[in-house]
């Protein structure tokens, strides 16, 4: 659990994502009087989904900062236990901890692993129990979840048990795609801080990184740092990171989300009766992905 104070203003670019977060999740949370006046229920949570390495965890931390809430990160390793019944107890203990420390953002990372479709769990009685317990805790059937804000993230929303996506649970979704131009510039700046650099035109570099994820951009900075450090070791004098280093690194790093896009495109095209993947299909069309 942490109280790291990040805000949405710390998230570079991504104005559409931040606007939708504010409208669908944060504004009602911050205005209880208006919420009450309009009879707006705050049951349920928010699912962040999209390709890996695009900042879903960072955004979740920023949401916690906006709500001035504790942040508790939950992964599969925090839940699973080899002993029968222990995984379900872990789920209960996690939610109890969140309630004791409310206001709290409970962030379920890779929720498709924790809440996998029960129809796919052949003989997986243990995991079925985990999903059932998670549903019970999210419903707050035996405890009050007031002040516990549930966020979840996944790269594979099509693998999540449909019961988790029903109203009152993870009933709001937000697609988080590779960063836009302002976000890419901000990410480059973040990963170069504290390193020896010459005067850099990061806006110019960012224009050549379309399609790279946040993780890819971090790798660009690492590669550029290695080039400068290798040259410095050879001469015995620190040589700062240059535009040439960054340009070379950009050419060397390829977008990492190709396999995800291929898989996601198939699901979006053939399993979109409810419009769940409209945003992804629009992005694929806009970027002329075949």
pLDDT tens digits, 57-77? 999 999 999 999 999 999 988
- pLDDT by residue (tens digit) across 135-168? 999 987 556 788 889 999 999 999 999 999 988 8
- Find the angle CA(177)-CA(58)-CA(8) to the nearest 5 degrees: 90
Domains of the chain: 8-175 (3.40.50.300), 181-252 (1.10.8.60)
Instruction: Map residue 241 onto helix, strand or coil.
Output: strand
User: pLDDT band at 225, cuts 50/70/90?
Assistant: very high
Whole-number mean pLDDT of the chain?
89
- Comparing 210 with 125, the larger pLDDT belongs to 210
DSSP 167-220: TTSS-EEEE--S--HHHHHHHHHHHHTTS-B----HHHHHTT-TT--HHHHHHH
Instruction: Map residue 67 onto helix, strand or coil.
Output: coil
pLDDT at residue 203 tops 90 = yes
pLDDT of residue 118: 79
pLDDT at residue 2 tops 70 = no
Q: What is the pTM of this model?
A: 0.89
pLDDT of residue 121: 65
């Amino acid at each position: 659990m942490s109280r790291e104070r990040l805000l949405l203003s710390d998230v570079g670019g991504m104005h559409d994502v931040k606007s939708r977060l504010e409208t669908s999740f944060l504004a009602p949370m911050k205005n209880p009087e208006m919420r009450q006046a309009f009879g707006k229920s705050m049951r349920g949570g928010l699912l962040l989904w999209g390709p890996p390495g695009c900042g879903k965890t960072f955004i979740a931390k920023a949401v916690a900062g906006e709500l001035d809430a504790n942040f508790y990160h939950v992964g599969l390793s925090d839940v699973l236990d080899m002993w029968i019944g222990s995984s379900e107890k872990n789920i209960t203990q996690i939610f109890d901890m969140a309630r004791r420390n409310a206001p709290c953002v409970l962030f379920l990372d890779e929720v498709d692993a924790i809440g996998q479709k029960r129809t796919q769990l052949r003989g997986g009685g243990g995991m079925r129990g985990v999903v059932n317990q998670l549903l019970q805790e999210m419903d707050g059937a035996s405890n009050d979840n007031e002040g516990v804000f549930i966020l979840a993230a996944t790269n594979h929303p099509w693998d999540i048990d449909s019961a988790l996506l029903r109203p009152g649970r993870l009933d709001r979704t937000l697609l988080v795609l590779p960063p836009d131009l302002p976000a890419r510039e901000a990410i480059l700046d973040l990963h170069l801080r504290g390193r020896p650099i010459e005067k850099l035109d990061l806006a110019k570099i960012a224009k050549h990184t379309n399609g790279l994820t946040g993780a890819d951009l971090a790798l660009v900075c690492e590669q550029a740092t290695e080039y400068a450090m290798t040259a410095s070791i050879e001469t015995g004098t620190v040589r700062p990171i240059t535009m040439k280093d960054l340009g070379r690194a950009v050419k060397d790093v390829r977008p990492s989300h190709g396999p995800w896009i291929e898989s996601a495109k198939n699901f979006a095209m053939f399993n979109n009766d409810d419009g769940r993947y409209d945003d992804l299909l629009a992005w694929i069309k806009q970027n002329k992905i075949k």
